[in-house]
């Protein structure tokens, strides 16, 4: 066990140093065993072993939390999960320790049967932390595994005691309780506190004695880099497809991987999760997947571009949408048609010129959508992903979209009162009893008529009628904006002066002038 200073009762919380162990309750009752002396003695021993394990486990979690704080990585999800896990562990132990009426039902539903392995996977080295932090995290993780294994053994023996109790009730005279082993590293296991503390300290690091392979591995860990794909043992791991790399073994890419990467092949990496964990250096998780005692499956997965494989699989990545509410993922075609036209005040004249140059397939197609915007907004839209000529102004652009694929999207077409409530809510009209439909909250795309033009001198606070000749589409979710971006077919540039230009082509993220 780890020796920890004593603390007054007000400080006994998981986030503060844990106090010295208090004395056991003055008595325990075991009604199912008729308060037999052997039963009371066994339950007291069980409580002591659980106490040893909980205090040591709590100390390890505190140390891991402290390492995150020391390296100023408190924004990591693992840090917050460790704090929650520590609080849950401590809460469960306090209930366990305060209970004096011990039954099999209480034991089998206690915190011992919670997922105590989960915190182990959160004891991970933060990105770009120094080697001493990585070494100490590894030590803490190994110690935590020993304790969790010991607690699992105690649970097995509690199960055995419950089954023996049932057997004795059925008339079988068998020994009531199995022998309780010492939890690995507990105070009764022969390990002194100083030995445990020393085991948790990082090893001294001497760069002069570091071998070349050790140095390379250390630098790889610090940089969160991948191992060499050529070093993968294909007898132990299934191959992984990596963009820009030759497929391992020199063979053909499997059909399953081909289907996952698609024609554009913009993924960074695709393959079995255990193979990717090995490439990222997470050997302990490779062992977990192979271990039948765990439920982590070796499924096929995809690593998107722009992120590290290990942290992404451990869900340590942060979506851009969570950081910047205005950000949208790019999903634009590689090439689109372009056209530059001189600004015309009359929309019908402008339309005829665009139709003559772009053709009926684009301008007279009922499946086309148009979005007008300034050139600055267009530039931002090509990296971001918001109906038509009026928005483009005299020196802007119109984006043209064709046949957006709504498959898998929630499309809402408000009509009647739903349409009026939506319009009133967005225009902030002073009307009573405005209730937006529940579909408004879940919609990916909202399609409906625009409001009719306002008559001169009309009250601006009045609710307008719908103009069913002009249909507007609003893409209000990230995945629907991805769908819209993929359907971009042309961009019409509106210029305040100059000659009309013949249609051309624009490469992805390029400009025609």
Domain residue spans in the chain?
Answer: 9-200, 226-317, 335-507
Q: Taking Cα atoms as reference points, which of 59, 87, 48 lies closest to residue 1?
A: 59
Range with lowest mean pLDDT among 90-94, 136-140, 281-285: 281-285
Range with lowest mean pLDDT among 289-298, 347-356, 358-367, 413-422: 289-298
**In this structure, what token pair is assigned to residue 196?**
């445990």
DSSP bridge pairs for 475:
445
Residue 206: its pLDDT value, please? 44
Q: Exposed, middle or buried: residue 383 (CB in 10 Å: 0-12, 13-18, 19+)?
A: exposed
Does 407 have pLDDT greater than 80? yes
Does 247 have pLDDT greater than 70? yes
> What is d(CA 1, CA 188) in angstroms, rounded to the nearest whole number?
9
> What is d(CA 143, CA 1) in angstroms, rounded to the nearest whole number?
11
Does 110 have pLDDT greater than 50? yes
Tell me the CA end-to-end span of the chain in Å, nearest whole number.
72
Does 187 have pLDDT greater than 60? no
Range with lowest mean pLDDT among 189-198, 200-209, 311-320: 189-198
In tens, the pLDDT along 52-70 reads 889 999 989 998 998 888 8
Residue 381: its pLDDT value, please? 55
Average pLDDT over residues 190-217: 44
Q: Which residue has the higher pLDDT, 173 or 474?
A: 474
Report how far apart, in Å, the C-alpha atoms of 36 and of each of 33, 155, 176, 330, 463 are: 6, 21, 10, 70, 81
**How many residues are listed for the chain in this entry?**
513
* DSSP conformation letters of 67-92: HHHHTT-TTSHHHHHHHHHHHHHHHH
Q: Which residue has the higher pLDDT, 425 or 141?
A: 141
Q: Which residue has the higher pLDDT, 213 or 483?
A: 483
Sheet holding 466-475, edge to edge: 411-412, 445-451, 466-475
Block residue for tokens 């950000």: 327
Q: What is the pTM of this model?
A: 0.36
Does 435 have pLDDT greater than 60? yes
Residue 156: its pLDDT value, please? 86
* DSSP conformation letters of 316-364: ----HHHH-TT-------SEEEEEEEE--SSHHHHHHHHHHHH-HHHHT
Does 490 have pLDDT greater than 60? yes
**In this structure, what token pair is assigned to residue 133?**
């932090």
Which residues contact residue 198 at a Cβ distance below 8 angstroms, ignoring those fewer than 6 apart? none
**In this structure, what token pair is assigned to residue 394?**
């005299």
> What is d(CA 424, CA 323) in angstroms, rounded to the nearest whole number?
30
Average pLDDT over residues 396-418: 84
Residue 454: its pLDDT value, please? 65
HSE of 14, CA atoms in CB hemisphere, 13 A: 20
Average pLDDT, the chain: 71
> What is d(CA 61, CA 59) in angstroms, rounded to the nearest whole number?
5
Q: Taking Cα atoms as reference points, which of 372, 385, 373 lies closest to residue 330?
A: 385
């Amino acid at each position: 066990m780890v020796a920890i200073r004593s603390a007054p009762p007000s400080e006994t919380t998981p986030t503060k140093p844990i106090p010295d162990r208090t004395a056991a309750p003055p008595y325990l009752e075991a009604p199912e065993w008729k308060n037999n002396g052997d039963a009371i003695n066994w339950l007291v021993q069980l409580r002591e072993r659980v106490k040893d394990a909980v205090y040591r486990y709590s100390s390890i979690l505190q140390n891991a939390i402290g390492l995150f704080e020391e390296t100023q990585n408190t924004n990591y999800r693992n840090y917050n999960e460790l704090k929650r896990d520590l609080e849950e562990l401590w809460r469960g132990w306090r209930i366990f320790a305060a209970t004096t009426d011990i039954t099999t039902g209480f034991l089998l539903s206690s915190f011992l049967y919670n997922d105590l392995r989960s915190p182990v996977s959160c004891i991970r080295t933060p990105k770009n932390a120094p080697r001493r932090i990585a070494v100490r995290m590894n030590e803490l993780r190994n110690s935590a595994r020993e304790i969790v294994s010991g607690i699992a053994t105690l649970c097995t023996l509690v199960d055995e005691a419950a089954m023996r109790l049932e057997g004795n009730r059925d008339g079988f005279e068998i020994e009531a309780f199995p022998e309780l082993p010492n939890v690995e590293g507990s105070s009764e296991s022969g390990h002194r506190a100083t030995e445990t503390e020393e085991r948790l300290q990082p090893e001294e690091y001497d760069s002069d004695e570091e071998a070349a392979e050790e140095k390379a591995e250390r630098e790889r860990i610090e940089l969160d880099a991948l191992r060499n794909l050529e070093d993968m043992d294909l007898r132990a791991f299934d191959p992984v497809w990596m963009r820009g790399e030759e497929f391992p073994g020199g063979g053909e890419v499997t059909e399953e991987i081909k289907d996952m990467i698609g024609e554009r092949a913009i993924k960074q990496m695709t393959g079995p999760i255990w193979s990717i964990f090995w490439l990222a250096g997470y050997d302990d998780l490779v062992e977990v997947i192979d271990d039948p005692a765990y439920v982590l499956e070796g499924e096929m997965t995809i690593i998107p571009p722009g992120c590290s494989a290990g942290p992404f699989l451990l869900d340590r990545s942060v979506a851009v949408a969570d950081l910047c509410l205005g950000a949208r993922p790019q999903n634009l075609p590689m090439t689109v048609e372009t056209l530059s036209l001189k600004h015309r005040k009359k929309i019908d004249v402008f339309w005829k010129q665009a139709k003559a140059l772009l053709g009926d397939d684009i301008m007279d197609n009922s499946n086309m959508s148009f979005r007008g915007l300034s050139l600055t907004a267009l530039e931002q839209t090509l990296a971001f992903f918001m109906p038509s000529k009026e928005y483009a102004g005299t020196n802007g652009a119109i984006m043209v979209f064709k046949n957006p694929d709504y498959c898998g999207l929630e499309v809402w077409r408000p009509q009647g009162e739903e349409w009026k409530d939506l319009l009133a809510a967005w225009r902030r009209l002073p009307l009573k009893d405005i209730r937006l439909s529940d579909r408004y909250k879940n919609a990916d795309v909202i399609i409906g008529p625009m409001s009719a033009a306002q008559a001169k001198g009309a009250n601006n606070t009045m609710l307008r009628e719908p103009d069913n000749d002009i249909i507007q589409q609003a893409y209000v979710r990230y995945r629907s904006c991805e769908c819209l971006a993929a359907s971009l077919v042309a961009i019409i540039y509106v210029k305040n002066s100059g000659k009309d230009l013949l249609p051309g082509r624009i490469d992805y993220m390029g400009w025609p002038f």
